[in-house]
Structure 1
Amino acid sequence: MSKIRARVFLDYLRRSKLLTDSELRRSLESLQAKHSGKLPGKTQVIVDHMIEEGVLTQWQCDKLLQKKYKGFFLGKYKLLGHIGSGGMSSVYLAEHTLMRRSRAIKVLPRSRVNDSSYLERFHREAQATAALDHPHIVRAYDVDNQGDTHYLVMEYVSGSDLASIVKEQGALGFEDIARYVVHAARGLQHAHEAGMIHRDVKPANLLVDENGTAKILDMGLALISDDTAELASLTVTHEERVLGTADYLAPEQALNSHEIDHRADIYGLGCTMYFLITGHPPFPEGTLAQRIAKHQQQMPPNVSEIRTDCPPELSRICMQMIQKQPEARFASCDEVADHLVAWLEESGFAVDQREQPVKRQVTTASVVQAMQAATVAPGQSGGDQSAIQLVTGDSGPGVVQPDSSRSGSSLSGSRVELGNEQVGSSIAGAMQSTKHNLLDQTTKQGMRPIKLSHDSSSAKVWLTIVVILVLIVGIIIMMVINSPDESAAQRLKHPNSNLSAAISTTYNGCIADNRTSYGKAAGAIADENKKRNHLR
């Protein structure tokens, strides 16, 4: 690095626009205050002072010392440092000039601008990444160009990738391995559900932030479900620069990278897990062609043979992920994550909520379906009215299942997607069904006026609750109908008010049926009293 005089350095700094005039003046004044009011003549003293104050970064100063004062800005972003370079781009740490937020900016080399395949791949990555929003995928915020410089603005993850971590620390602990693979699997599952396949899952593409959260990086090779573009493929690339990818390449992907499905990502993630456990990829020896051939033709040694203290369940999960035939692997990345979460829990490790499987949303339709299917059978629930829960899962939405271990059911994230007519008729049907079930159960108990069994009292409690609720709704409806506010009454009576009509019909039906039932009960009581008087 050539040395330049202090005044020349300050001149380049002014030209660079890295600091405003007032920022530069304040920094120099504080420097002069440390040196008896004089500006030091040594350039390095000025550099060290500005880095210490935080007004310049080491990378910026190095560029200025090399007499390079242009190219520090891309659009609204100021470049702070160089993070790394890949096969098709360079990544820089940047800061938004107004909001002061740190971002990572991927810049396509100018030499590649005229290469249509590289430029198309670059914009494909922007499209693929921007379409995904998940805590375990590095987010994309913007894509733009400044002249012939094309760049992608991404989330900045303060941390290291798993390849660098293993290189520095060696093989990782089993708990950390399980967590990182769970995080990656959840992120990949999100991408797969969006119709994308990553195709380049490897340790270097998994970043771990300061909180221990793993995030998937680099969607540049992502295969989109409707992709028909003929782009540069690994199957026709034979340079050693694809070494990292070759160590994690699914057998079917090496044959045809455009005719694969999500299970190729499961293979890559399995090879990554193998690397985290053993400290090296499944086939560390040989040329690129030899390693690709091994991935197609043979299984690597079991991880438990290399690391004898590896838990059997982790070994089983890892080896199943890297089976040669896609159908022999796990069916989905969620399934991989679920098995690892189960192992974490069984091993006594705490499981973060984000590592749990994503619950399906419980919609109004499924709730209504469950209400219509539900019956309360005295004698089966043992008087515990909390023995019914609504669940969603493999059994389908809204399936009613008994669960005596729960004290109630919780519905979260409900969405109302039905119109008034559907909601009204569904609620009406559910209320009628529940009313008839409860009345039938109570009638079976004989409606005795004096003695109540434990089972019948449970049914009568529910009957009372239903009747009270129906009466309250009916009273409110009648008050509105009889209200002097004609507009309100007319709105309720309007033929299009299906919900109100359904509730009103249900109310009238319940009252009529209840009067009949109580009339019969009263008659039975009277007859029994007459018999008792006659016996006396």
Structure 2
Amino acid sequence: MTTPNEFWKLLQESGLLPSEQLSDLHNKYQATASAETSDADGDVNSVAKWLVKQQAITVYQSRILLKGRKGPFQFGHYQVQNRMSAGPLKGWFQARHHNTGHPVFLHFLAGDECQQPSFFGSIIQHVKVFAALRDPHIWRVYDLVNETSYRYVVLQDETIRTPKIQSLTQRMAATARLAEVDACSIAWQVAQALQQLQQRGIAYGHLTPNSIWLDENDHVKLLPFFDQIHRPLNLPADEENQDLILAADYMAPELQKHDANLNITTDIYSLGAILYFMLTGMQPFPGGSIADKMTLHANEPIADLSAFGVSIPIIQLINYMMAKQTGTRYQSAAEVADKLATVLPAKTPTPSLLSELSQSSLAFEAAITAESTILDAAPLPSRKIQPTNPIVAATPIPQIQVTLDNTNDEYLTSEVNASNASNSNTAPPTFESANTSIGPLGTKTTARMRRQAKSPWMNPMLWTGLAAALIGMGALAIILNSWSADTTAKNQSTTTSPQNDGDNNTNTNTGTPPNNGPGENENTEPPKTGDSQFIADDGKALWQSPTSGDAVNLAWSPPAGQLFIAIQVEEFLKSSVKDDILISLGPAFQKHLSTWETTTGFRLQDVKQMILSWRDEDGVAFPTAAIVVHLKDAATKLQILEKLGDPPAEKTEHGTLYQANTWSYLVPENGELFVMGTKSAMLDTLEVEGKPPLIRRALTQLIKQSDRDRHLTILFAPSFLSTTLFRDGHEFYFGKPSKIRDPLQWLLGDELDAAMVSLHFDSIFYIEARMTAGLTVDKRELVTQLDERMGELYDKVEAHMVALNPSPYWRALAFRFPAMIAFLHEQTRIQIEDKTPVLNIALPIQATSNLIIASELSLASEPGTGSVAVNNKPMLPQTIEEVLQYPFSVDIPQQDLNLAIADIANEVRSSLTGLPFKFEINIAGNDLQLEGITRNQAIRDFTMKNKSLAEVLTGIVMKANPDPTVTSPSMPNQKLVWLITTDPNDPGNKTILITTRKAAETNKYTLPSIFVE
């Protein structure tokens, strides 16, 4: 048996704890043991239990050490925490990433077939496809580690984020069968996931109820088992394979043939059999050997489902899904999803990837870009990239062709054809360079770390506006100072394009690079075509715009605005990269978006368009914001006001405004939109009757050239940014405003009166900038200087990254960026169009999220620190009582009680991601109302730093208490209290409740001691 001294020695050799921490724990334990017994070393089991209680080691780690083994616990960049001992995940290991503390599963590939090169090669391809997917219905896959002595896949540990998640097998074991709508909802979500795989040319394989995982709301996660045998059956040898025995209950009959292949139709058959299982509680052909089951699948019809109350359309659907002949089945998962949707509610909720965000997950994904051993990045561009010199077509503007390389020399082409390009025989500009390689379409690295900083501007949509502005301007200007893009994505082997019809057809680029040899474009005069004059910028023509809409309408924005951001929310949410962009903005964005939704009662999905604007106001140090919200669905004025919480009306000389504690609102009589901002801004808007505002002449010139079909349009006066918005003394989450102001001034110079940047996320990432300057400014000289400055970006970015000394988990990403800046410059086109300097850039679509990721990481870093502020503590509070002792800081200049509580709850969830329980703070509105207290009771000038959550909540309720003379929370006049009680919606969970002292007494709640005399 292991002795206490041997246990401590094994713990030291295991590498689980740093030497200094281990020494402190040993001394602390000896002091504790000697105080309780005469034996300072104590009993070995007592030592283990004490270390577990101290959260120094886990129960699993203690069991291994007690057996006299020192592990192994360390595998590459991961430390094993636990081993799953039962269920579909039996044998999988729960682990933590060393640098970030992010929880993952390690799925070791130990079977004999996994050691065969051909089988392991197929595993690699499947992992690459799954790792590139970012779908809410598919379990997140990160990496495949291939070492000499072990191989394992790294996956998200969903059991930490969603403790109640369970497989469909486990769900069905607790019920006889599912209701039709519930079963079809689950099948619909699985079909959505299978469609994602089909688009990328792979089949799931042997789909079973163990593959389908459900949270408490029946949201699906499709879990891949990469050691699953992706081949036809080999009978009778496979009769001993337990996985195949289970799979045979749902397996397509043709898979017993030696030449059969797994494909989408075999997946559809399996899904049909699983739907049958959910509706009846029985497999279609239960019992017997694999051979017996396959014979029945091939020859026997399924039982009549009408006896189970299944509707005729669903019976017909299952019959087609489980047809014996493959040609009779549905040929795509999308068809199946469409059929299932007919029996589902009109608006079936889809889980958002934003709900899965955490600080550690974003840091972890940044680390993966540097650490991945299988998903290696494509070769980097060389420092000195020679610009591609396309042949300039007179008219029309040429099409865009994007050529994407990977290490297997396979190509994917995404084309945006000009509407009149058919009349041109001229070769188009192409994304080609001998030294440039962009990862395959669909490979996305979405990670972001944000250093928290309080600011008077950090209300939800103002933050969103800043983020949008930084993205847009970063694409052109701010990019050299921490707005970095790493479009060298993870390299994966993908054989189908986004337009793949399921037949593995791949469109390859057949164009040839333009001839840049001697004699090309010898005419030194700028060529002219129609009213357009091409600038001598190495002969580059403007990229074709992907949109051609009318100008953006600024109606209902307050007058005198100097920064405008128009967001086409409805169309953006249809973009294929919407989830990547929203995820890249990180948990802080989710928190502030959630606060905005709580404030207004509207969801982002309810919005068609938002127009944000900023202006100076007398007596206000920071520029004030206003938001015009155009709704997607028709709504009356009364319906909008009801959503806004029925704020009190205030009659003015020019109309009615509605005043809440934080915002003032305008709602036109015809509904359809509402405006929110300061009272002064709303009064000015009423005065001009909501007409387009009076703004600078230079801004007016540019907004007339805007395109409202673009997803994001940013119109601004550069002087406003440098002298007002980003002036010293203002605080931003990224630190000093000079981080943005100085590089912006360097790049744009002093000549510009106004600029407009627009972004569009379609088959390409399109960026366009238009500028105006004084009448005396030579526009040719202006764009020439701008182009030259962009050419200098490489050296400046390289110097900045060296000075930054990035943290190890994103260092590789950071040092790839300078080379990508060269590629960005190569893709830049500059031209004077109708006397307006125009600059546009076209990039592969996967560059979008990478731009935001690297930008946020570097903005949050300080030169020389080598790190980004992040909470990497792997040990979390295990109870709500422990959370209440966790330190927090709050700074509330003015906010409603309900919004402040919502912000605090969101802050807890984002700071303590992975809590083993659902954390909620609720307000008992009816209890408060009985005491004459409203949920939107105003809280002003409330600040606490590094205080426990319990102290913060106590301070909040005292600040919101209607009697301001109260000096102690235990005084009877302190009507507002907080307490811990059972969650009425989840009896197994505890929640924090904001209520009144009288209600607590009535309901026999136990008050915290701070409220008791």
TM above 0.5, yes or no, is yes
Match of 1:351 in 2: 348
Asked if the contact 2:88–2:210 (Cα under 8 Å) also holds between the matched residues in 1, the reply is no
Asked if the contact 1:126–1:143 (Cα under 8 Å) also holds between the matched residues in 2, the reply is yes
Following superposition, the deviation at residue 334 of structure 1 comes to 2.0
Distance between the aligned counterparts of 1:114 and 1:344, measured in 2? 44
Following superposition, the deviation at residue 43 of structure 1 comes to 2.4
Residue 179 of structure 1 pairs with residue 185 of structure 2: yes
Following superposition, the deviation at residue 30 of structure 1 comes to 5.5
Seen in structure 2, the aligned counterparts of structure 1 residues 185 and 114 have a Cα distance that, compared at 3 Å, is: closer
Following superposition, the deviation at residue 143 of structure 1 comes to 1.6
Give the alignment of 1:298-377 within 5 angstroms: 298-305=300-307, 307-308=308-309, 310-345=310-345, 351-353=348-350
Counterpart AA for 2:137: H
Seen in structure 2, the aligned counterparts of structure 1 residues 26 and 233 have a Cα distance that, compared at 3 Å, is: farther
Seen in structure 2, the aligned counterparts of structure 1 residues 42 and 135 have a Cα distance that, compared at 3 Å, is: same
Seen in structure 2, the aligned counterparts of structure 1 residues 155 and 256 have a Cα distance that, compared at 3 Å, is: farther
**Residue-by-residue CA offset, 1:200-225 (whole Å, 9 max, x unaligned):** 111111122466421122253799xx
Asked if the contact 2:4–2:47 (Cα under 8 Å) also holds between the matched residues in 1, the reply is yes
Seen in structure 2, the aligned counterparts of structure 1 residues 173 and 43 have a Cα distance that, compared at 3 Å, is: farther
Match of 2:233 in 1: 234
Following superposition, the deviation at residue 113 of structure 1 comes to 6.8
Following superposition, the deviation at residue 89 of structure 1 comes to 10
Match of 2:8 in 1: 10
Asked if the contact 2:183–2:279 (Cα under 8 Å) also holds between the matched residues in 1, the reply is yes
Distance between the aligned counterparts of 2:775 and 2:328, measured in 1? 69
Distance between the aligned counterparts of 1:206 and 1:90, measured in 2? 18
Give the alignment of 1:480-499 within 5 angstroms: 483-487=775-779
Following superposition, the deviation at residue 80 of structure 1 comes to 1.3
Seen in structure 2, the aligned counterparts of structure 1 residues 322 and 23 have a Cα distance that, compared at 3 Å, is: farther
Asked if the contact 2:245–2:290 (Cα under 8 Å) also holds between the matched residues in 1, the reply is yes
Match of 1:54 in 2: 55
Following superposition, the deviation at residue 410 of structure 1 comes to 5.6
Instruction: Calculate the TM-score normalised by the size of structure 1.
Output: 0.61
Seen in structure 2, the aligned counterparts of structure 1 residues 177 and 43 have a Cα distance that, compared at 3 Å, is: farther
Give the alignment of 1:112-511 within 5 angstroms: 115-158=116-159, 159-209=165-215, 212-218=218-224, 220=226, 233-235=232-234, 237-241=237-241, 242-256=244-258, 258-259=260-261, 261-305=263-307, 307-308=308-309, 310-345=310-345, 351-353=348-350, 411-412=571-572, 483-487=775-779, 500=834
Seen in structure 2, the aligned counterparts of structure 1 residues 473 and 59 have a Cα distance that, compared at 3 Å, is: closer
Match of 1:80 in 2: 81
SS at match of 2:183: helix
Following superposition, the deviation at residue 499 of structure 1 comes to 5.3
Equivalenced residue count is 388
Asked if the contact 2:231–2:261 (Cα under 8 Å) also holds between the matched residues in 1, the reply is no
Seen in structure 2, the aligned counterparts of structure 1 residues 221 and 328 have a Cα distance that, compared at 3 Å, is: farther
**Residue-by-residue CA offset, 1:446-475 (whole Å, 9 max, x unaligned):** xxxxxxxxxxxxxxxxxxx9xxxxxx9799
Identity of aligned residues (%): 22
Asked if the contact 1:177–1:276 (Cα under 8 Å) also holds between the matched residues in 2, the reply is yes
**Residue-by-residue CA offset, 1:484-514 (whole Å, 9 max, x unaligned):** 33435998xxxx9585399xxxxxxxxxxxx
Asked if the contact 1:252–1:260 (Cα under 8 Å) also holds between the matched residues in 2, the reply is no
SS at match of 1:154: strand
Q: Which runs of 5+ in 1 are unaligned?
A: 224-230, 356-362, 370-396, 399-407, 416-464, 466-471, 503-536
Match of 1:429 in 2: none
> Counting strand residues as a fraction of each chain, which structure ranks higher?
2
Following superposition, the deviation at residue 481 of structure 1 comes to 11
Distance between the aligned counterparts of 2:149 and 2:703, measured in 1? 73
Seen in structure 2, the aligned counterparts of structure 1 residues 77 and 33 have a Cα distance that, compared at 3 Å, is: same
Seen in structure 2, the aligned counterparts of structure 1 residues 276 and 485 have a Cα distance that, compared at 3 Å, is: same
Match of 2:715 in 1: none
SS at match of 2:348: coil
Distance between the aligned counterparts of 1:140 and 1:150, measured in 2? 15
Following superposition, the deviation at residue 140 of structure 1 comes to 2.1
Distance between the aligned counterparts of 2:296 and 2:271, measured in 1? 17
Distance between the aligned counterparts of 2:334 and 2:192, measured in 1? 6
Following superposition, the deviation at residue 291 of structure 1 comes to 0.3
Counterpart AA for 1:484: T
Distance between the aligned counterparts of 1:129 and 1:490, measured in 2? 47
Which structure exhibits the higher relative contact order, with contacts defined as CA atoms closer than 8 Å and separated by 6 or more residues?
A: 2
Asked if the contact 1:189–1:333 (Cα under 8 Å) also holds between the matched residues in 2, the reply is yes
Counterpart AA for 2:297: H
Following superposition, the deviation at residue 175 of structure 1 comes to 4.0
Counterpart AA for 1:278: T
Distance between the aligned counterparts of 1:181 and 1:248, measured in 2? 14
Asked if the contact 1:177–1:277 (Cα under 8 Å) also holds between the matched residues in 2, the reply is yes
Following superposition, the deviation at residue 74 of structure 1 comes to 0.6
Counterpart AA for 1:487: K
Following superposition, the deviation at residue 129 of structure 1 comes to 2.5
Counterpart AA for 1:343: V
Counterpart AA for 2:249: D
* 254-263 or 197-206: bigger deviation: 254-263
* 4-13 or 82-91: bigger deviation: 82-91
> Counting helix residues as a fraction of each chain, which structure ranks higher?
1
* 206-215 or 95-104: bigger deviation: 206-215
* 201-210 or 169-178: bigger deviation: 169-178
Asked if the contact 2:232–2:256 (Cα under 8 Å) also holds between the matched residues in 1, the reply is no
Distance between the aligned counterparts of 2:147 and 2:225, measured in 1? 22
Seen in structure 2, the aligned counterparts of structure 1 residues 51 and 316 have a Cα distance that, compared at 3 Å, is: farther
Asked if the contact 1:103–1:154 (Cα under 8 Å) also holds between the matched residues in 2, the reply is yes
Match of 1:533 in 2: none
**Residue-by-residue CA offset, 1:175-234 (whole Å, 9 max, x unaligned):** 4322321221111100000111112111111122466421122253799xxxxxxx7542
Match of 1:441 in 2: none
Seen in structure 2, the aligned counterparts of structure 1 residues 413 and 183 have a Cα distance that, compared at 3 Å, is: closer
Seen in structure 2, the aligned counterparts of structure 1 residues 312 and 114 have a Cα distance that, compared at 3 Å, is: closer
Seen in structure 2, the aligned counterparts of structure 1 residues 26 and 265 have a Cα distance that, compared at 3 Å, is: same
Between structure 1 and structure 2, the one with the greater Rg is 1
Following superposition, the deviation at residue 152 of structure 1 comes to 1.5
Distance between the aligned counterparts of 2:703 and 2:55, measured in 1? 71
* 251-260 or 55-64: bigger deviation: 251-260
Match of 2:860 in 1: none
Distance between the aligned counterparts of 2:105 and 2:281, measured in 1? 28
Counterpart AA for 2:156: E
Distance between the aligned counterparts of 1:318 and 1:95, measured in 2? 42
SS at match of 1:78: strand
SS at match of 1:238: helix
Instruction: Calculate the TM-score normalised by the size of structure 2.
Output: 0.34
Match of 2:68 in 1: 67
Seen in structure 2, the aligned counterparts of structure 1 residues 154 and 482 have a Cα distance that, compared at 3 Å, is: closer
Asked if the contact 1:157–1:209 (Cα under 8 Å) also holds between the matched residues in 2, the reply is no
Counterpart AA for 1:483: L
Distance between the aligned counterparts of 2:158 and 2:191, measured in 1? 18
Distance between the aligned counterparts of 1:190 and 1:338, measured in 2? 14
